[in-house]
Structure formats: structure tokens, C-alpha cells
Amino acid sequence: MSGPILIWGAGAIGGTLGAAFLRAGHEVVFVDNVPDHVAAINAGGLRIDGPIFQDTVRAPAFLPADLQGRFDTIFLCVKALHTEAAVRALAPHLATDGVVVSAQNGLNEIAIAREVGAARTIGCFVNFGADYLEPGVVHYSGHGAVVIGELDGRETDRIRALHRLMQDFEPKAVLTPNIWGYLWGKLIYGALLFATALTNDSIADVLDDPEARGVLTRLGQEVGRVAAAEGVRTEGFDGFAPAAFAPDAPQAALDRSFAEMVAHNRRSAKTHSGIWRDLAIRKRRTEVEAQLGPIAEAAHRNGLPTPLTRRLIEMIMEIESGTRALSAGNLAELARVAGTEVAG
């Protein structure tokens, strides 16, 4: 790697990563499509709040239309629903032998590879807690898994260099030959997070609720079956064990995974998901179609039913449109699709 690291999307994930890279001595350039955020970074720096570290870092920030030059390393850190537009905008700024690192949620590597080629696409999995608070301010609330890998599983010189870079952010960052296993594992966990966002309760409180675990278990099993049909060996992280959601997994494994997920989330200052923040605070579209839609598509290819995933997508979209309120009763309604009972 040479030259500055370009962070495309300076919000929760991108701002946190970029600040850590700057603190480690790397040169960073930020791009964001929110004019007030770009102006605030240029005027007073990017402030990181939270229990991990507090600092104000300084680096140039640009709106996409104002950026010039080409970069060897671009971290794409936008919401999944904005991936295709962002990749088209950043492609002219990607060096011929450069790479795009997908520090996002979902299977965005597929869309990135379609635009810039699989050889210039790097798989990345992140699960740390962070939120965009206001222009120029990001809250870094909790440590979480950070994983990077080549899409084809090879261990190359460039992936080793990128792994060292990620260790400047998270010393426990993992270099994996199975990045798709982590991405699909996160899809299972992500489906659970979308379910928690149907309510106003915290992630930990919903996961810790014995009444909710029936529908959460069925949802996780549904997505897990799709991953298995796709030939993916899912990987666990931060207390989440995908194998515990296999249809024949013992109850003890499920109980242990739920307990560990609860413990991980209670340690974080981030009590609610970014999904919930989008619905309850920012009043904007979530990533539900971009994240969970590919699950339903893969299920269709493999002839598998996904009634819970499809209904969950519909319910989140109803909340987005204002036709459904956030309520614990939403979990009870989802449970009726699964044939389980949740107190509402």
C-alpha cells in the first residue's frame, strides 16, 4: 500500500476506522455526501467520543464531486443500500492495481466486484459499535470482531498488509481464508438485529428475553439453512455461534450463544442497533432490503422458504413508511408467522 487511505463514507464505521488509522500515523482522506459533515471535519476535525478513546483527528474531507486523484486503498463504508451508487462514484478514483475494502454490512462485495472486478475487491467484516451523532462527531461505543480476507481465500502480500493496517484499529483483527463464512454469519446475526429493531427495547434486553427467543431462534435457523444451501461454512464472532442455530443443534448450544451475545452487548455503550436509530431517531430508510433481500433471493434459488425473513423485511419497511409503530407487539406478530409464542 502507498499513498493516503481513502475513506468513502465518514460516518459511524468510516469515521471510526479513519480516526484510528490517523492516530496510528497513516495519511487519510475522507469522502462523505453530507455537506455539513464534510464542512465540520474540515473546519474543526473529526471528533470521536465514547469509552474506547476520545480524540479529534484532522484530515481533508471532500464531497464526492470535489474529490480528485486516484488511490491504492479505498475503504467503502456506506450503508448497503447506497453501495452501487457509491462504487460507481469512486471507481474513477481507484488506482489500476488498487483495492476497495468493503467495511459494510451485507454481501456488498458482490456488487463491488461487478463494478471494479473481483481482483480489486477485498472482503471485510466488522462488528464494533459506533454511531454518527452529528456533523463532525462519531461515537465509538464498543469493541467487536474485525475480519479481512481475499474473496477467493488466498493469503496474498496485499491481504497481509491490509491485515496489519486493520490491527492498527483492532489488535485482535483476524485474517481469514473464509471471509464469506463471516459475512453469512453476520447475515444471520443481522437478521436477529433487525428483529430487535421492531421494538424500542435494547439489543441485549430482547436477546435476553426468554419470550422472544423462540422467534429469534426460528429466524436464525431460517437464514442458516440458506447459508448451508449456498455451500457456506459460517463463522462465529463476539459470542454469536451460527452452528447453534442449526435445526438439530442442542438447546444448550442455543442458550450458551444467547447468553454470550447478551453479555457482549451489555458491555457495549451502544445499546440499540443502527437499524433502530435509523427508524426511531433519524427517520430514514434502513438497509433491510439490501441486507436481508439477498437472503430471500438465495433461498429462492435453492428452493427454500423464508417466510420469517420476508415478513421481517415487510414489517421494517412498514415502520419506515410510518404505517407501523415500534412495539414489542411486532415480535409477537412475527412469532405468529413462525408458529411460536411471544408475549406482546
Whether the predicted pLDDT of 173 surpasses 70: yes
| pLDDT exceeds 80 at position 195 | yes
In this structure, are residues 270 and 49 in contact, taking their beta carbons and an 8 Å threshold? no
Reported confidence tier of residue 296, pLDDT bands at 50, 70, 90? very high
What are the pLDDT digits (tens) for 219-228? 999 999 999 9
Answer yes or no: is pLDDT of 339 > 80: no
User: Does residue 341 carry a pLDDT above 90?
Assistant: no
Residue 180 pLDDT exceeds 70: yes
Q: Which of 319, 341, 320, 323 is nearest to 332 (CA)?
A: 341
Asked whether the beta carbons of 131 and 138 are under 8 A apart, the reply is yes
Task: Tell me: pLDDT of 152 over 80.
Answer: yes
pLDDT grade, residue 269 (50/70/90)?
Answer: confident
Q: What percent of the chain has pLDDT over 70?
A: 98
Span between the terminal Cα atoms of the chain, in Å: 53
pLDDT at 248: 84
- pLDDT at position 22 is 98
CA 215 to mean position of chain CA atoms: 22
pLDDT at 344: 39
**What per-residue confidence (pLDDT) applies to 263?**
93
Q: Among 62-66, 87-91, 173-177, 292-296, whose mean pLDDT is lowest?
A: 292-296
- pLDDT number for residue 17: 98
Whether residue 252 has pLDDT greater than 50: yes
Which residue type occupies 137?
Answer: V
Average the pLDDT over 292-316 and give the result.
Answer: 96
Count of helix runs (H) and strand runs (E) in the chain: 13, 12
Q: Cα(244)–Cα(242) distance, rounded to whole angstroms?
A: 5
Order across the sheet with 137-142: list the strands.
55-57, 46-49, 137-142, 129-134
Place of cell 422472544: 212
